[in-house]
Amino acid sequence: DIQMTQSPSSLSASVGDRVTITCQASQDIGKYLSWYQQKPGKVPNLLIYDASTLETGVPSRFSGSGSGTHFSLTISSLQPEDVATYYCHHYNHLPPAFGQGTKLLIK
Amino acid sequence: QVQLMQSGAAVKKPGSSVRVSCKASGETFNNYIVAWVRQAPGQGLEWMGRISPVIEASNFAPKFGGRLTITADSHTKTIFLELSSLTSEDTAIYYCATEGKGRFLQYLLAWGQGTLVTVSS
């Protein structure tokens, strides 16, 4: 099975900062990587799929990049409402798997 | 887009089974594959399995062995997850979610509200 490793596990940044979260797959997964945002006590919400395609309605400050085994999620200008845990998720083949999550806080 | 409504919270004894339902509304039910994901308290997301209602084919994460069953009732547009031989480690919020279209395996597009299952003696 493919293992997904996110880093960092948590980070704290200031409003307006550029924030990057990385996700590494243990095998080549092509472009089949999605990112989810889960705010405290809420349901996960799809942000990006196919590594870099922004889901409809997601603010343009979110972007994704990468292919193969290395991927990243970037928030270009951090907003207070971005406080959440972010998960990567591969769906290249069965079984799909999530990263362990990155908890994002505001300084 | 499909909307998903899950059954309410459940408290179960160790060794028993739990059945969680996920009712779809909106677009044609059979157009979507539905997956189940769980989240233990304070932990991350864990993919459990999925079903294609139209062909009634399912796939499961190996760790669940024969404990996990996923079924679909096309008449009522409802997906069921059943997990047996429960232990305290199965205490979690269980989510159903639809996959995007266009490929055998896809990202998770729309999520149910979650169902808390507590396993306690």
Q: Is the dihedral of CA A24, A6, B111, B92 positive or negative?
A: positive
C-alpha dihedral (B47, B28, B116, A21), degrees to nearest 10? 40
Longest dimension (CA), chain A: 39
Answer whether B111 sits within 8 Å of A45, measured CB to CB: yes
CA distance A29 to chain B (A): 12
- Spell out the residues 6+ positions from residue B15 whose beta carbon is closer than 8 angstroms to its own: B85, B86
For the CA atoms of A5, A42, B98, B39, the dihedral, rounded to the nearest 10 degrees, stands at: 50
- Give the pLDDT of chain A (107 residues) as one tens digit per residue: 999 999 999 999 999 999 999 999 999 999 999 999 999 999 999 999 999 999 999 999 999 999 999 999 999 999 999 999 999 999 999 999 999 999 999 99
Report the sign of the C-alpha dihedral through residues B52, B55, B61, B64, in that order: positive
pLDDT of residue B2: 87
For the CA atoms of B6, B12, B16, B19, what is the dihedral angle to 10 degrees?
-10
How far off is chain B from A15, nearest CA to CA, in Å? 25
- Helices and strands, number each (H, E), in chain B: 0, 11
Span B39-53, pLDDT tens digits: 999 999 999 999 998
Please report, as a single letter, which amino acid is at residue A37.
Answer: Q
B55 in contact with A, Cβ within 8 Å: no
Name the residue of chain B whose CA is nearest to A48's CA.
B107
